[in-house]
Structure 1
């Protein structure tokens, strides 16, 4: 199954994001348990706070569907989302 690298670029409303971080982390944990999120975590704040998620999905549309269920999506704390298909050659996510 294809692997996708998703980059979240967070907006300036840090208070709302931090308030809802437990729900966001719970969503990530459930997606990880299901085998959809392979890895995730925050990026440093330079130049802008964000997060990186590595997902396994059939296609770009499926990734978008999963991301729509992230509690952060409905709160407006994500300023921009980049979704790119990624072909890992080495490491735990490499495929054949």
Structure 2
């Protein structure tokens, strides 16, 4: 199954993002338990805050449908979303 690297760039509304963080993390936890999220976490705030999710799904359209359900998306704190298919060669997510 394809693996995707999802890079979020967050907007300046930190208060709203922090209020939505528990729901955002619960959403990620559900996807992790289902095997869709392989790893996730925040990116350093320099130069702008963001997040990285490694996800697997049948195709990019499925990833986009899942991302649309992220509580961060519904409260509008994501300024940019970059989705790239990734082929891990080494490490725990490597494709044999």
Report the Cα offset of residue 50 of structure 1.
Answer: 0.1
Structure 2, gaps ≥5 residues long? none
Give the RMSD, CA atoms, in angstroms: 0.4
Q: Partners in 2 of 1:46 and 1:61 — Cα distance?
A: 30
In structure 2, the partner of 1:82 is 82
Q: Does 1:11 align with 2:4?
A: no
| Partner deviation per Cα, 1:9-59 (whole Å, 9 max, x = no partner) | 000000000011000000000000000000000000011100000000111
Q: Partners in 1 of 2:47 and 2:62 — Cα distance?
A: 29
In structure 2, the partner of 1:37 is 37
Q: What is the 5 A alignment of 1:60-75?
A: 60-75=60-75
- In the superposition, the TM-score normalised over structure 2's length comes to 0.99
Structure 1, gaps ≥5 residues long? none
- In the superposition, the TM-score normalised over structure 1's length comes to 0.99
Would you identify which runs of 4 or more consecutive aligned residues in structure 1 move more than 2 Å? Answer: none
